[in-house]
Amino acid sequence: MEEDGGDAHRTGGPGAPAITVESVTAAGTELILRHPVERFTLDNGLRVVLAPDRSVPVVAVSVFYDVGMRNEPEGRTGFAHLFEHLMFQGSAHVPKMEHARLVQAAGGTFNGSTHQDYTNYFEALPAEALERALFLEADRMAAPAITEENLRNQIDVVKEEIRVNVLNRPYGAFPWLQLPQVAFESFANTHDGYGSFVDLESSTVDDAADFFSTYYAPGNAVLCIGGDLDVAETERLVQRWFGPVATRDVPPTPRTGEPMPTSVRSVVVEDRLATAPAVALGWRVPDPVARFDEYLGTVLLAELLSEGDASRLERRLIHDDRTAIAQSSYVGLFGDPFDVRDATLFTTQVHHPAGVPVERVTAAVHEEIARIASDGVPADELRRVQARTEAQLLRQADSVLGRTLAFAAAELVHGRAELAGELAARLAAVTPEQVQAAARGLDPGTVAVLELRPAGGRQ
């Protein structure tokens, strides 16, 4: 969930000197971002990653805290997102709204977002404003303005966001808030990360102070800075502003993995605003960190099934059978398969006409997956999918901010910022056999099924 602090700042361009494209194998072109990464750790535990790129006069500053929706305790659903809002309400030396004014006055943009496994804050600015961004982030890492007024105000803001994005929007909770309740067992994986109104309204300043003390310790964060920077000078500035932030204990990373399911689970929900039925199928997938190579096969399987007019499910459901209005398949509930820990889902969602039985839709999905599981994937078809995925990753990395966020997420989740620059090449190396194995893992006997019907059961 991303706030409205500012648009993502896109800078740079293809062919920047700090990035080279290399051909790694004779069998095909694997694209690797050769980008220098420097890292060090402050005495208070803050991990720092620097990614210099002197080709454009822009810097990006991001702070990733190792706390997300899955860290929330029972009775405090939505708290990670609520706290993200609080972090924009001022800090010890920065009055409310001053963060925005200072960044925008320098010609920069800013934002923040809450995910399952982390919360991040970031700015993109002209290079000469680097110290300003470091001061702002360090000040709220040290002492955000956690007051009764700010808390109550932001609870109201979050409640309105829920009304607009979920309660008063067709398919607002489908399937990202509803399918996990079918597919998983633990509170960490099943609860509504947007939060219930009851939990939000009962939050106190003490709750917020405890949450900050526990999860916003410098040792529980990664600071990643990219762009036009001098490494030695940037390290000096980081030491100046973040070094004095008090050291605090770091909580253990929560165990969010679960045993693999052994049966089908299904739930029917009604949506009073929906105009047509829909169904979402969810399968557990290999651990995105510990079994990364297997996981990559699943990521490409999703692309092969649903991306583009030539994809398997687009042809089958939309063009041939004409049993669907729209379809998509993806890994991870927040749209990025590479910034999530175990457990997560491979999801196929289909919106279909009222006259088409949901069983016909789900049967077609299972048949297409079974065809890949039994017959495999032609190398040329896989290569087309890989080329498209590589291009998407390289476009993301084309901006200073895009690269900086990717490096930070890779450092936090995988322990290696460099992985972000290797993803295109790693995907290009995936074999048809890996994709076939991924399809075999999508067992119709272990699927989670979420069926959505327009209110009143209209079909």
- Give 315-373 pLDDT, tens digit per residue: 999 999 999 999 999 999 887 899 999 999 999 999 999 999 999 999 999 999 999 99
The answer, yes or no, to whether residue 250 has pLDDT greater than 90, is yes
pLDDT-derived band at 28 (thresholds 50, 70, 90) equals very low
Which residue, among 224, 144, 147, 194, has the nearest Cα to 417 in the 3D structure? 224
First to last CA, the chain: 32
Which residue, among 193, 190, 172, 166, has the nearest Cα to 180 in the 3D structure? 190
CB 221 within 8 A of CB 248: no
pLDDT-derived band at 34 (thresholds 50, 70, 90) equals low
The answer, yes or no, to whether residue 16 has pLDDT greater than 90, is no
The yes/no answer on whether domain 265-454 falls in CATH 3.30.830.10 is yes
Q: What is the mean pLDDT of residues 26-41?
A: 67
pLDDT at residue number 347: 98
What gap in Å lies between CA 92 and CA 94, rounded to an integer?
A: 6
Q: What is the mean pLDDT of residues 278-293?
A: 97
pTM: 0.91
pLDDT at residue number 31: 60
Domain range annotation of the chain: 38-243, 265-454
Instruction: Give yes or no on whether 38-243 and 265-454 have one common fold.
Output: yes
**Domain 38-243 -> CATH class:** alpha beta
CB 417 within 8 A of CB 411: yes
